[in-house]
Amino acid sequence: MKRREPVIHDLNKSYFHEVEDNYYQCLFVENPLGLITIKDMTIEECKFVKIDFSLIKLINTHIVDCVFENCDLSNLEFNKVSIHRCHFINCKMTGAGFINCSLHDLLFKGVQGRYLNISFGNIRNVEFIDTVLDESSFMEIDVKNLIFNQVSFISGEIFKTGLKGMDFKTTNIEGIRIDDYSLKGIHVDMYQAIALAGLLGIIVD
């Protein structure tokens, strides 16, 4: 199934301290003046440029049709958050966590996502391109159409996550930790197959 793109119409330059209850068609290019909490809201058709999300706390938030460019989302916790039809472009996401999230039609491109943690929840039509995911974790996720294209996944781990049909041939999986269930039906090249065989105790002469 083809990944759907964000739908964004006219944007109005906005400031976090001026937004009370309507994150709709906003353009944010300046950081909040202090810590803010976005709770029980929908962020829709918004664009965030060079925003430091260490000052922002998201609680029970739905994010739809948004673009994040050159933002710092490091160590941000997305817990029970729905994120649909969004792009994360050239963002820093070191240590970010997506726990029990619904992730649909997302593009992560040029992202620095070392130690990223995606656990539980579900993934539909999500693509990582030219992205660093070293030492990241994918745990117990319901997956349909997850794509890695030129991804570094060195020392990453995948457990209890069905990946049938997923192509890892352009992904660096050196040092990967993966269980038998997650291995079933994935596509790898010859050298990756030899490395994965070692995880299963198979000796290739």
Q: Residue 13: what pLDDT? A: 93
Q: How far apart are the first and last CA of the chain?
A: 40
Give the integer Cα–Cα distance in Å for 134 and 174: 10
Give the integer Cα–Cα distance in Å for 157 and 139: 8
Give burial (CB, 10 Å; 0-12/13-18/19+) of 69.
middle
CATH number (domain holding residue 64): 2.160.20.80
By residue range, what is the domain housing residue 80? 12-199
Task: Flag whether 6 is in a domain.
Answer: no
Nearest to 79, CA basis, from 99, 104, 102, 54: 99
Nearest to 179, CA basis, from 194, 202, 163, 203: 163
78: DSSP letter: E
Who contacts 191 (Cβ-Cβ below 8 Å, separation ≥6)?
none
Task: Flag whether 118 is in a domain.
Answer: yes
Q: Residue 18: what pLDDT? A: 79
31: DSSP letter: -
Task: Flag whether 41 is in a domain.
Answer: yes
Task: Flag whether 7 is in a domain.
Answer: no
Q: Residue 204: what pLDDT? A: 61
The predicted model scores a pTM of 0.93
Task: Flag whether 107 is in a domain.
Answer: yes
Task: Flag whether 38 is in a domain.
Answer: yes
Who contacts 190 (Cβ-Cβ below 8 Å, separation ≥6)?
none
What are the pLDDT tens digits along the chain (205 aa)?
688 999 999 999 998 877 777 799 999 999 998 888 888 889 999 999 999 999 898 888 899 999 999 999 999 999 889 999 999 999 999 999 999 999 999 999 999 999 999 999 999 999 999 999 999 999 999 999 999 999 999 999 999 999 999 999 999 999 999 999 999 999 999 889 888 887 776 666 6
Task: Flag whether 160 is in a domain.
Answer: yes
Number of domains into which the chain is organized: 1
In this structure, what token pair is assigned to residue 185? 């039906």
Task: Flag whether 204 is in a domain.
Answer: no
